[in-house]
Each structure stands twice: as structure tokens, then as C-alpha cells.
Structure 1
Amino acid sequence: MSDPALNRATDTVPTPSTATTRRRRSDIEGLRAVAALLIAVYHIWFGKVSGGVDVFLVLTGFLITGSLVRALERDGRIALGAFWAKLVRRLFPAGAVVLGTVLVGAYLLLPRSRWTDVIADVQAAALYHGNWHLALGSVDYMAENGAASPVQHFWSLGVQGQFYLLWPLLLTAAGLVAAALGARVRTAAVMTLSAVFAGSFGYSLWITANEPVWAYFDTGARLWELALGGLLALTLGRVRLSSRMRGAAGWTGLTALVLCGLVVSDHLPYPGLASLWPTLAAVLVIVAGAGADVGRLSANRLLGWAPLTWLGGHAFTLFLWHWPVLVFYLEVTGTERPTLGGGLLVLGLSFAAALATSWVVDGGLTRLTRTRTAPSWSLAAGVLFVVPVLLGGLAWGQVIQRDQELRLELASDPTAYPGAGVHLSPALAEGLPDLPVYPDTTTVARETIDQTRACNALIDDTELVRCEAGDPEGDYTIALVGSSHARHWYQALDTLADRHGWRLVVMTKNACQFSTADQTYRGEAFEECDAWNGHVMAELRDLRPEAVFTTGTRTRTGADRPEHVPDGYVERWRELDELGVDVVAVRDTPRFGFNVPECVDRNGAGSPECSERQSYSMARTSPANALEDVPDNTAFVDMTEYLCSDGLCPGVIGNQLAYYDTNHMSHAFSRSMATVLEPDLLDALPEAPEADASLVESAAVLYEEP
């Protein structure tokens, strides 16, 4: 996002007649205003990409490159310290005001389960690497069930911050090469930026096709947009267009930009080729306004209209505020998309906050430091705002960590936090103390995922990822195979493998069923899953475990999507039968129409609001019971009675948070399921070696009647 205050002094570009005579481009301010409005409108009412951020990247490259190259031509050098200090002074204060407010808003308005993520997001945004922070998080399966961060839009500032570090160094190097070769600085800069454009654009096409989510945040996939703006700044003086052609270019570009969010489908990989639409639209508008005789009815004259240029002066702060205001509005109202009136309220609040921030930063900070022009003062003025945000986030994180440690200490008492074991003793259930849930809602998702991260293939992976647990020298091997709904039994099986001396081999993949049938993911062929299944079977043929533990049914939500046994399950079990491998097919677990940790944060652990109807995702009885021609090696296990009772599935069981999102068991609750799973699993695997005493027998004092 281009900061208008930062670039106001550089809103001059060469006219076609001379490279040294420059005029102020008020239409650039208007273009900023249109881009900011499009971003806000499409985010608020449509939840779509508008192309506005791409326009700001082009404008940033256009304005900054022109300014830096002129400095090189004039002085033979770029004053790096002054340049970066000025950036810190202009960018950090406004961003810090928003980030600090987000921390306060998160504490007051967001559920506890989101606090840790918000703190991490704010810290990354404050240090201008928010795009990489989001990119790393986006490839995590956990992110698929995560709510939008109130500072998610800061990713573009991260891209620009990295651009501001790189660009003056790159142009300085071009200037040194030009001096050594006796060439013009502008020529060397054009050649340098052309190479950056070509390399980045090619990389963008490749990474967008292969890793589209990552590509969206990748600085390398976005540099070509900034380089395009830079090339335009360096070559615009050579463009010769008639007044009529410039008028047509201006209206074509402005119309294309406004329609971008409607034309560019959400299903198109982005940035890639699709991002050419808004970037070229911006180029047309900039080129159209380069002439001295801008037509009275031209798009550029419209963009130079005083109200639009005034709004363009506040575009940066409007961009900063619109997204957190929207996120907090949706949280407070409990809606997924604002109504027309609600959206206008979000837009109005964003405008008010933007004006207030501009007044505080430009009116206050600038006035107080007007006489302090040294780079060190500019740097200090910017850092002064950021440090309290970073320290506030660190302090809040420490408070959360101390609370987590307290819950962990409390959870060491199995009578206080029995989890699924509460079903084994009426006395335990009746005497259950009123305690905060464990695991802590702020970290349950990450802690659960971390315990199996190294053993799990992600959506785009085709190769097998495996790891082992239990007794590595054990004579009896069980393989845990399947999707994430197989994976969330890991802690239970790990507990049982340790107890009985089994070797546990884990091979799971997100959203991929262990099946012979071709599978789909989000409506498209899931070729990565099909390839992964082939690798798993090859591994099982070599490994020859005594048993495979996998899911026997699949729960889904909606009346037209009942719980069922997916195609290819039984055929896969037959293949294992031919290998002499037993199969334990466990019934799938329930799904919730809400995020369980967030519900617990809002309503309390014992609230009926945090229970879901069993019929929401599960059949009355397991569909596996009606299967015919099931191979002899397959045994079915149904743990539903410990997850749901009287048609309701609670989100908290035995003081333990049972799920870390809408449908995956938490690590602690999965481990507690070992107690109730053990007898059924041993019945299903009569040849499996057993410990001298079961888990229940070893903890008999916990379950004995008073």
C-alpha cells in the first residue's frame, strides 16, 4: 500500500516534452483514492480481490523509482540513511497506531482462542515481514479452519517494506555500473529493472501455478509489479500519444480497474496472469495523464477532482483501518458478511479512524518534529510508535503463557481432567471440579498440529511422509493411515503403543482418504491424493504391519451429505487382506457448525451452546454396520458413545477441550481416548501383545465407586 504522505513530494513525473520539467500529478492522488475505495468495497461486501493492492504496488514502484533515479542523476548517489529514516517516520507511526488498537480490540472483542495468533500477526506486521508470516501459516492445514486475522492486509506493507530496502541498493548498484561503463544512469536503471521484471514475472507465473496460496504473499512473485511501475517512471517521457488516444487510454484503464473485482474470478490463480488486469489498467491511467493537455472530459481530469485528491491523501490510513474494523464488526455481530447498512457503518468508522490517525501522525508528529530534520530524528520518531506495540504484544504473550503453565499444572491431576475417561466412572463425573478447560484455547490448535506435523503430508504433497512411535523394537506393528480424521487418533494410539510395546508407524495426508477410488478436493481432481495412496500401499507391502488403523466411515455436514462409507474403502481393505494385514476401521468423529474453542471462550465450557446435534454430521448408527462382503481381516470400532450422548456431542468432555477447531480432536482429548479405545482395540486385534494391566486397571483408584 503506497503511503500518500510519503510520496506527496514525489508526485511529479516527466512530461513528454522534457525530462527535466515536471508537474504535480493530482490524478495520481485520485487513483490512490479509487484503489483504496475498491479494496474496501470489495472486502466489505464481496470478500473478493479488487486489484487495488496491485495498483498501489505499481504506483509505489512508479513514484519511488522516479525519485531515486533523479537523485542518482542529480547527486551521483542515493542518501540511503535519509531515505530509510524518512520511510520509517512516514510509515511506522500510522501502522503502529492501527496495530496497537488491534491488540486492544482483540483483547476486548475476539475470543481467547485467537489471542496468540493475533499477537504473532501484529508483531510480524510491525516488523514488516507479515507477508512471509502469512505465507508460512497458509501452507499449514490448520489455516484452513482459521478465522481471518485483523491485520492480514498488512501483508502488502511487508512486500513494500522489503521493496524499500532492496530498491535503493539495486539502483545504487546500477548507478555504479553506469559510472564504470560510462553509460547513462537511466539506461542502466532501465536494464536492471527490465531484468527484475522478467525474472519476477516468470517466477510469479510458475509459483502461482504450483503454490497459489504461497504465491499471493511472496515478495518475489510481486516484484515485477513494482518493477513495472519503475520502468514506466523511467520511460514515460518517451511516450507520444495524441489527446484522443490518451483520453481513450484513461477511460479504458479506469473502467477496467473498477470492473477488476467482478471480472477476475476467485477461481483464477493469483497473482499470475490475472494480476495483469489491474496493473495494466493502472499503467493506462498513468500514461493517459502524462500529457500537459488533459482533456476536460478525460478520466484523469475526473481523478484530479478535489474530493478524490483529498481522499487520496488519506488512502493509506483508510486502507490500514478498513480491514480490522470489518473483522471486529463481523465478530461483534456474528455475521459472515455485512448488510448494506452494516457495510456503510464499517466504511464510515474506517473513514473516521483514518482521519483521526492522519491528524495524530501528520498533524501531531510532523508539527512536533518539524524543526528536527536529521535522519536520526526521523528514525527515532518512527520507532517511538512501534516499540510500545512490540512490548505490549510480548507482555500479553507472557501473561497468556503463565496461564497456560497453570492449566498444565492443574491438568496433571487426572481426576480433575479425565477427558473421555469421565465416562468410565459415575463418581468421577459427579465430582468433576469446575476448572478452566485444558488445553488452553489459545494454543490448542498449534500444539495439536505440532505433535504430528513431521508425520503428515500436506495437501500439495504427493510423496509419503512417515514417522514411528511406540517401541521401535516391538514385534507387533500398527500403521495409522488416512486423512486428518485418522491422524487425530495419533495420541490415543501412541499411548497404547507405549503401554503394550507395539511399534506405531504413522502415514497420513490432509483431506486424503485411504481408498482405491479417485478422489476430489474442493471440486477438483485430487491427483496428489491418488499418488500418495499408491506410495502408501507400496510402503505397506514392504512393511507388512500386523494391522492398519484407519477410518471406516466419513462424516459430513448437510442433509444431502450424510455419513457414509466412501467408495474404495472396502476394496482397499481387501487389498490389505491379501497381504495378511488386519484392519481396524474406526467410525468417524462428529463435526460442529462452529469453532469449538471460540464457542467455549464466548459461552463457557459448560454451555449447551457448545454442543452440536449428532445428526448434524452423523447417522443414527454407523453406516459400516450395513456393509456387505466385508473382508475377514476387518473389524469395526465405534467410539460415538464417548463423544456424543442423547443425540448431543459436547465440545468439552471431562474438563478437556475435545476439539481444536470444528472437527478435529485436541491432543489431550485424543490421549484420554486411549482409556476407552483400549478394550475395543484389543478385541479387534486378538493377536496383539498386551501389558499386564489395562489403563483402567492401572488407574483403578480413579474409577472406583465411593
Structure 2
Amino acid sequence: MNSSTTQPGTNRASAGRPRTAHRRDIDGLRGLAIALVVVFHVFVGRVSSGVDVFLLVGGIFFFAPQIRNALNPAGLTVVQSFLRIFRRLYPALITVVGATLVLAVLVYAEVRWVNAGTDAASSLLYVQNFHLASEGQEYTAINRDVSLYQHIWSMSVQMQIYLGSLLAIVLLATLFRRRSKAGAALLHWLLVLGTLASFGYATWLGQHDQATNYYSPLSRFWEIGLGGLFGIWLLGIAIPRAMRWVRWPAGLVGLTLIVVTGLFLDGAAQFPGPWTLVPLAGAMLVIFAGNPESTGGLSEAAPATGVSRMLNSRFFQFLGRVSYGLYLWHWPLLTLATFWFSTSTASQAGGLRGITASLGTTEGAVVGCGVIALSLLLAWLTLRLVETPLRQKAKAHRSWVLFDRGYWRASLRSKGKVVATLVMVLATGAVFAFGPVAQARIDNRARELSVQDVDPTEYPGPNAFLQDADVPDGLPVLPDPSDDAPMLADTLKDGCLAHFDHTDLVMTKWFNEEDEPCVYGDVESDRTMYLVGGSHSEHYLPALELIAKQRNFKIVPLLKLGCVIGMDIPKWDGSDYPECREWQQKAEDYIFENPPSEGIFMTVTRPTTIEGDGPDQVPQEYVEMVRRLSDAGIHTWGVRDTPWVLDAPGVQGNARLCVAEDRGEDCGVDEAESLAPVNPALAAYRGLDLTNIDLTDAVCRDGRCPGVVGNVLVYRDAQHFTNLFAAMLAPELSRQMYDPMAVEESRRAAEEAADAAPAVPAGDAPKDVFRLPKPGEDAEGGEVPGAPDPAEPPAPVVPDQGWVDPGYVDPGYGWVDPGYVDPGYGYVDPGYVDPGYGYAPPY
């Protein structure tokens, strides 16, 4: 990223002072900064200080010239000033974004094209920082799934600050143009106030929302503002010849502060807070060490020495010239190379970071060096063929451009620049169109592969495991794995769950903003079941809704992302979650004050670790919650949590992407890695009014839990069922809930598990480690396996729900069990399938 928009060597304080000589050492400092960025991105996997140095240097060469120009009646108009910046930065940007987007089409499967196109468009609009923040994508080290244009966040921040500052400078300068000295002083002191205010805001926001803080232009302004103040007050100040000895130690200390920042500070977690002063102070010391000398009141350029001499070398001068292109090229090439050569998101190199963490030490080193070499070559070609030819060679006469025929005649005189402009316009249009076109392709294929009328003989889904149903070969997987939006339950589509920042129960659609109640199943029924918890409870809604319609009760969701009842858990990122605690209390009060006739349905196990590692466990808080429900006469339908798809210990995979990319594997996980040999809920809840539900046999076979079962996609990510697979679980789920034989079998299994469970001495129970799911999903999990209480009654109390023998038509509930396979859909009566239900809801 090249922060300079004019030639280096701006004046010091006054708008009327002449420019100083060209500072080659600052060009070399740019080269050093970009070298740090590249090396840290490729091999270290941490934030260096390079970008922060760039922002500082950008401020040095932005504010003083713009203030001087704005106060000059003959200076460039604000339109011309912006066009100078835009012409300097945009041609290389569209070149790199366009070329790498083409490479992405060749390297990525189609499932990733939409995201790549959206990121590319956000980069060209200089809003990538806002886009990443809105998507919840914190700044992260290189891996297979990182954004292709993540690095453009800094250019977006820089452009936003430049444009906002430019407008403010021009507006204020217009008021003081006749008093240029007073205007210059006012603008300088306003810059001081703005810089201090931004620094204070960054310090405060970093303690409350670091993800937003990292990307915010308001938080980052102070880095550019500090550079502006340095450029105004200190850039050209002369060092007395008697003090020339200070150059060498100042440069060395400054260089050390810049280089070691990324090794000892966590920039992603601490910048742009106060610790950012460490590399910025280092950069200012390095620049100050190259200031001119004075003797007898006269200033002259100082001979390069120490660090300044190093930065004046050919190597760093070359890096300085190609720094902008190198910054643009290295990250997308690194991302594509990591994706191409790696096979999973799992770490292959122990504690190493960067590309070696994905590829291993040897292969990672070779590929990383190749990425750097190719980036240097492409950066040099970009400089020679794009940046230099299109750069404005001289200052144009003052003009408002759009209304100046002479300006346009002069611009159209160069056929080469006209052709280049047309190419950039066409390339820009193609990039903006890419994402929508890719999305349209996916939508069309989704319509062609409709899941409304799935043939159970072609798509047996869980029956492939439960009933050994034949699975035809050569059929496309349903639902289409290219897009996860149609795979979500209706509660997400209807806004019938509380988000992370919500504390109220969501009882009506669209987060209580509409009057229509959040009810599913037989919505006119007086009989009610509550679906309680987070997304691991929610993803069973498609199955429960079918059962509820057959058995004539309605489902009321009491759901909140990353929250359960009865247990204090943190947010998905490990931070405190007070909103969950407040919501929990409201949910529990509602349940006990309005007891549901059909009980509550929720998950009753969770993984061992924060990342989702197995085996699954039962936290004691879960047991106590079920005990309270039982004491209140409320039945609990307790379902065992799903097996989690992990690429490696602590590294979540993505079954949907794996299937979409056709990686030549089953895209699942070993059952033993995720689940305990025996369902821990059997022993933990023995004697309580709970029906144990375990759907593992529908998901796993022969020790594997694959991503596709019976030609149906099981997971939409690493842990959540697709709505189609969930709906196809309805017969088995209903059997385990209501079939007396299944209930009795579960009771006997609970007794055997309780008898076989070893006693857990007090204080020796495993500590709970909260799991970390995909951002925006549920944070359920487990704490400590609950020891059985032999004093409790030996069998759970299961209310009679009118279950009858298979094949019998119950006139009261209308459930027809033709061996759990109906010719119409595979598990329900054909006349019962609601065309609007949304096995692929219209998002």
C-alpha cells in the first residue's frame, strides 16, 4: 500500500515555506515497511508494524501539501485533489483485483466465487474494512478460508480518511483563504485535536470492541494525523551539526522498535491502541535521523549515515518503488497458493504460523518464497506498465474538471491513457458484475435442484443408515452445497430468535417488530412444545414441525444465539456474555410461568472443549436445569448434540464447502473423535422426567460421520444440520420420542449406563472449556459429566402421547406410520407437505 500522493519532501509548519529536498531514506522506509508486512504475512502469521508505518508516512505527505494547496487561491480544486489521489492508487488496484479474481475462478470451486466477488467489489469501493467488520471477519492469519482481499482494509481506511480530511480542509480553508497564516494555524490545531480525539477513541473502543476498533477509520485517523503533525512540525527541522551524533542511535532505536513490534506485540488484538505508538515512534526516529543539518543558521542535506544509509541502498530503494504493487499482489497470491497446495485448515507445523502452518515447514517455505518472488516480479511490472505511465506528470491548471472542455481535450489527447481508462472502466464493471452473476448461477441451480419433491428412492438420506436403503450413484447432492442460505431453519428466515445483542425473548416475527407470533407446526392448536436454547436446538425445527403438524401441537421457539438455559456461558469468542444471562432468566421465568403442555425440546450434551473437540459431556448445570423442570412437572425431550466436523484438534472444518469442492473425501469426522462411546446423557439424567434422544445412528456408521448420507448433505457447516436432512430425521425423531418400545429401550440403556458409570471424586471432574463455533452460531457445550443419583426413581416419567402400533391410523393425532417410508415424500403423508414450508426457503 503506497501512502504517498505527492512527492516526498513537504515543508514544515507554514503554508508558504518551500519544500525540502527529496528524502530517499523515507522511500527506503516504505520498502522496509512493506518487507515486514510481506514476511510477517507469509511466514509469521502475525500483524507487523508495516501498515501502521505506512499510515504514518501517508499522513506526512498528505496534510501539509493539502493544507497549503487549499489556502492557495490558485491551488487545485477539491475535485482535482481527489483525482490526483485516485489516479495514483486506483489503476494498480483494479489491475490486481481483476487479475486475482480471474485466478480465483481457476483455483476456487464455484461455492467460493460469490464471496470472492463481494470482497473484490468492496475493495474497489474502498469499503473493505466495513465489509469485513459487518461479516464478523476479524483480522486473521493466512489459511485456506481467509478473505482473498483482507489486506485491502488498510487502503480503504486510508482512502476514507483522505477523502473526509480533504473535504474538511477545503471547507475550512475557504473561510480563511484571505488570512492564510491564521487559516494554517487553525487547521494545524484542529489536526491536533482530531488526532488526540481519535487516539482516545481507539483506546476506549479497543477495550469494548476490538474487532470494530481494528477496522474503524475513526480509530485509525490518529496514526495518519500523527504523521501529518510530524510532517508539519518536524520533517524539515534541522539538526544542529554539534548534535549530529544523535543520528546513528536515533535511527538504530527507531529501526529496532519497528522490527520487533510484530514479534512482541499482538497487533490484531492491540492496534490501533496505545501500543501502536511503539512502531510509530520508531518510524519518526528513523525519519528524524535523516533530517538536514544546520550550521550558522544555514541548513543543508546531511550525509546518510547508519540506518539512513541502509535505507538509501539500492535494495530498499527498489522495495520503496514497488511497495504499493507488492502490497497489493502478495496477499491474494498467498491466499490462492495456500488454498491450492493445502488440503485442510489443520495446522501441519506445530507452533509455526503463516503458510507453514497450513503446508508444513518444507513445503511452506518453498511456496512462501515463491509467492514473495512472484509478488516482487508482478509489482515491478505493475510499476512499469500501470503506475508510472498513468501517473500525473505535472500540476494541471486549476479546474473543476467536469465543466472544463479544455481539461477534457487535453486528457483525450493521449490515446494510450484513453485506452487505459476504457480498460479500467470495463474491468471495474466486470468485477462489480461478477458476484451477482455468480449468485444468479447458484440460485438457478438451486431452483433446478429443488428439494420440494425429493424422491426417497433417489435421496434416502438418514434411511441409508437407519434402514440400509439403497443409495443410487451419480446424483447431485441435495441441498445444493453452493449456498448455505436455503439450508437454514425457518426461525432464522422469520427473525424468530434473539441475536447476540438481544436480551428480550423474541415472541413475534422479525425480532418482535411484527405482530405475527413465532409459532410453528399446528399453529391453531392449544397444545404447546417449547424449542429452547441456541442453534443446536434450532436446527431440529424442520423435523419437529413435521411431527407437530402430524400430532397436532404447536412449537414456540425460545431461542438465542450462543445461549442455553440453566448455565452461564461466554460468547462464542470467549468474552463475557451478560446478554445471555439476562435472556436466560427471562426464558426460565417464561417457561415456569407458562408451562408447555408437550414439554420442552433442547440439547442435553455438549463438546469438551471451546473448539468443539470430543468427547461430548453433560454439564452439571444442565442436569440441575432438567431437575427443576421435572420438579415443575415439565417434561424434557433431551437430544444428544451432533458430531462436530473437525479438520484437526481444535480446528473446525466445513462439510458443506468440502462437498462443494469435491475434495475426494467423505467430508466428515471419526465418531470417536467427537462422541463418547456411550451417550453421557443416559447416566446423567437417570430418574428425571426426560426422554433421551440420540440420532447418532442416523448420522454415523462404521465409526465415521460423513458429510453426505443417502445423497443428502448432512451439515451446512461443521456442526449444524441442513434443513433437508433435519426434516428427513422426523420419523426417527418421532419414534424415539413417542414409541413405547423406543422409550423403554432408552430407559434400560440409561440404567445400564448408570450402573457402569464410574464415580467421579469431588474435585476430579474435568474442567469445562467452552467451545468456539462458527461466528454467528450457537455456543452450547458441556462442563462436567454429571454423576448419577441412585436415590432418584429408576425410570423417567413419560407422558402418554397416544402412540400406536406401526401401521395404525390414530384418529386423534392423524399420525400414519407406514413403516416410516411414505411413497409421497419418504416420511410424511403426501398431502401433508406444505409447499411453502421451505425445505429451500426463499432467502
Task: Name the TM tier (shorter chain).
Answer: 0.7 to 0.9
Cα RMSD (Å) of the superposition? Answer: 3.6
Matches of 2:103 and 2:526, distance apart in 1 = 55
Question: Larger helix proportion, structure 1 or 2?
Answer: 1
The letter of the residue matching 1:693 is W
The letter of the residue matching 2:585 is G
Matches of 1:51 and 1:589, distance apart in 2 = 42
The letter of the residue matching 1:395 is V
Q: Which residue of 1 aligns with 2:266?
A: 265
By how many angstroms is 1:48 displaced? Answer: 0.7
Q: Which residue of 1 aligns with 2:729?
A: 673
Matches of 2:206 and 2:51, distance apart in 1 = 17
By how many angstroms is 1:185 displaced? Answer: 2.5
> Structure 2-normalised TM-score?
0.74
Matches of 1:139 and 1:505, distance apart in 2 = 32
Deviations 1:209-242 (A, max 9, x none): 2221122222222122222222222222685654
Residues 288-299 of structure 1 mapped to structure 2, 5 A cutoff: 288-292=289-293, 293-294=301-302, 296-299=304-307
Pairing 1:362–2:387 present = yes
Q: Which residue of 1 aligns with 2:43?
A: 45
8 Å CA contact retained: 2:638, 2:693: yes
By how many angstroms is 1:331 displaced? Answer: 1.2
Deviations 1:376-407 (A, max 9, x none): 76894653542232234443333333223222
Residues 197-276 of structure 1 mapped to structure 2, 5 A cutoff: 197-236=195-234, 242-265=243-266, 268-276=269-277
Matches of 2:306 and 2:13, distance apart in 1 = 18
Matches of 2:491 and 2:384, distance apart in 1 = 48
**1:542 and 1:254, CA in 2 relative to 1: closer, same or farther beyond 3 A?**
farther
By how many angstroms is 1:569 displaced? Answer: 0.9
Matches of 2:440 and 2:430, distance apart in 1 = 15
Matches of 1:528 and 1:261, distance apart in 2 = 34
**1:281 and 1:455, CA in 2 relative to 1: closer, same or farther beyond 3 A?**
farther
By how many angstroms is 1:457 displaced? Answer: 4.6
By how many angstroms is 1:636 displaced? Answer: 1.0
The letter of the residue matching 2:168 is L
8 Å CA contact retained: 1:58, 1:279: yes
Structure 1: runs of 5+ lacking an equivalent: none
Matches of 1:483 and 1:650, distance apart in 2 = 24
Pairing 1:348–2:385 present = no
Residues 526-565 of structure 1 mapped to structure 2, 5 A cutoff: 529-546=580-597, 547-556=599-608, 561-565=614-618
**1:433 and 1:561, CA in 2 relative to 1: closer, same or farther beyond 3 A?**
closer
Deviations 1:629-680 (A, max 9, x none): x453222100111011121111012322111222222233223223321222
The letter of the residue matching 2:311 is L
Which deviates more from structure 2 when the two are superposed, residues 45-54 or residues 463-472? 463-472
Q: Which residue of 2 aligns with 1:692?
A: 814
8 Å CA contact retained: 1:77, 1:172: no
In our comparison, the structure showing a higher alpha carbon Rg is 2
**1:459 and 1:411, CA in 2 relative to 1: closer, same or farther beyond 3 A?**
same
Pairing 1:435–2:475 present = yes
Pairing 1:701–2:823 present = yes
Q: Which residue of 2 aligns with 1:588?
A: 641
Which deviates more from structure 2 when the two are superposed, residues 186-195 or residues 693-702? 693-702
Deviations 1:154-191 (A, max 9, x none): 11121122223212101012213434887623212112
By how many angstroms is 1:258 displaced? Answer: 0.6
Residues 148-159 of structure 1 mapped to structure 2, 5 A cutoff: 148-159=146-157
8 Å CA contact retained: 1:57, 1:160: yes
Question: Secondary structure in 2 aligned to 1:74?
Answer: coil
The counterpart of 2:519, out of the listed 469, 473, 494, is 469
8 Å CA contact retained: 2:533, 2:560: yes
Q: Which residue of 1 aligns with 2:514?
A: none
Pairing 1:408–2:450 present = yes
Pairing 1:306–2:314 present = yes
8 Å CA contact retained: 1:2, 1:57: no
Q: Which residue of 1 aligns with 2:64?
A: 66
Residues 596-607 of structure 1 mapped to structure 2, 5 A cutoff: 596-603=655-662
Question: Secondary structure in 2 aligned to 1:581?
Answer: coil
**1:303 and 1:237, CA in 2 relative to 1: closer, same or farther beyond 3 A?**
closer
8 Å CA contact retained: 2:144, 2:338: no
8 Å CA contact retained: 1:93, 1:386: no
8 Å CA contact retained: 2:116, 2:435: no
Which deviates more from structure 2 when the two are superposed, residues 15-24 or residues 588-597? 15-24
Matches of 1:695 and 1:356, distance apart in 2 = 70
Q: Which residue of 1 aligns with 2:628?
A: 575
Residues 20-31 of structure 1 mapped to structure 2, 5 A cutoff: 20-31=18-29
Deviations 1:13-54 (A, max 9, x none): 226999324211112211111111111111111211112112
Pairing 1:487–2:538 present = yes
By how many angstroms is 1:455 displaced? Answer: 4.0
Residues 315-330 of structure 1 mapped to structure 2, 5 A cutoff: 315-330=323-338
8 Å CA contact retained: 1:14, 1:236: no
Matches of 1:449 and 1:692, distance apart in 2 = 24
By how many angstroms is 1:532 displaced? Answer: 4.2
By how many angstroms is 1:448 displaced? Answer: 2.7
Which deviates more from structure 2 when the two are superposed, residues 130-139 or residues 547-556? 547-556
8 Å CA contact retained: 2:49, 2:279: yes
Structure 2: runs of 5+ lacking an equivalent: 294-300, 348-354, 357-363, 397-405, 509-517, 648-652, 744-797, 803-811, 828-843
The letter of the residue matching 1:505 is V
Q: Flag the structure with more relative contact order, 1 or 2, with Cα contacts below 8 A and sequence separation at least 6.
A: 1
The counterpart of 2:711, out of the listed 643, 646, 655, is 655
Identical-pair percentage: 30
Matches of 1:283 and 1:226, distance apart in 2 = 12
Which deviates more from structure 2 when the two are superposed, residues 575-584 or residues 615-624? 575-584
Matches of 1:144 and 1:587, distance apart in 2 = 34
**1:391 and 1:368, CA in 2 relative to 1: closer, same or farther beyond 3 A?**
farther
Matches of 1:445 and 1:275, distance apart in 2 = 40
Matches of 1:289 and 1:618, distance apart in 2 = 63
The letter of the residue matching 2:106 is L
Question: Secondary structure in 1 aligned to 2:705?
Answer: strand
User: How many matched pairs?
Assistant: 694
Question: Secondary structure in 2 aligned to 1:138?
Answer: coil
Matches of 1:391 and 1:433, distance apart in 2 = 36
Matches of 2:218 and 2:392, distance apart in 1 = 38
Question: Secondary structure in 1 aligned to 2:544?
Answer: helix
Deviations 1:606-635 (A, max 9, x none): x5542322112112221112226x453222
**1:208 and 1:560, CA in 2 relative to 1: closer, same or farther beyond 3 A?**
closer
Deviations 1:269-298 (A, max 9, x none): 433233333333323333333334545433
Q: Which residue of 1 aligns with 2:402?
A: none
> Structure 1-normalised TM-score?
0.88
By how many angstroms is 1:344 displaced? Answer: 1.2
Residues 48-197 of structure 1 mapped to structure 2, 5 A cutoff: 48-75=46-73, 78-138=76-136, 147-179=145-177, 184-197=182-195
Question: Secondary structure in 2 aligned to 1:341?
Answer: helix
Matches of 1:485 and 1:531, distance apart in 2 = 20
**1:415 and 1:365, CA in 2 relative to 1: closer, same or farther beyond 3 A?**
farther
**1:562 and 1:294, CA in 2 relative to 1: closer, same or farther beyond 3 A?**
farther
The counterpart of 2:488, out of the listed 432, 435, 448, is 448
The letter of the residue matching 2:475 is L
Matches of 2:571 and 2:432, distance apart in 1 = 43
Question: Secondary structure in 1 aligned to 2:555?
Answer: strand
Matches of 1:431 and 1:563, distance apart in 2 = 30
By how many angstroms is 1:458 displaced? Answer: 5.0
Matches of 2:817 and 2:22, distance apart in 1 = 78
Matches of 2:454 and 2:394, distance apart in 1 = 56
Matches of 2:393 and 2:302, distance apart in 1 = 39
8 Å CA contact retained: 1:109, 1:332: yes
By how many angstroms is 1:316 displaced? Answer: 0.9
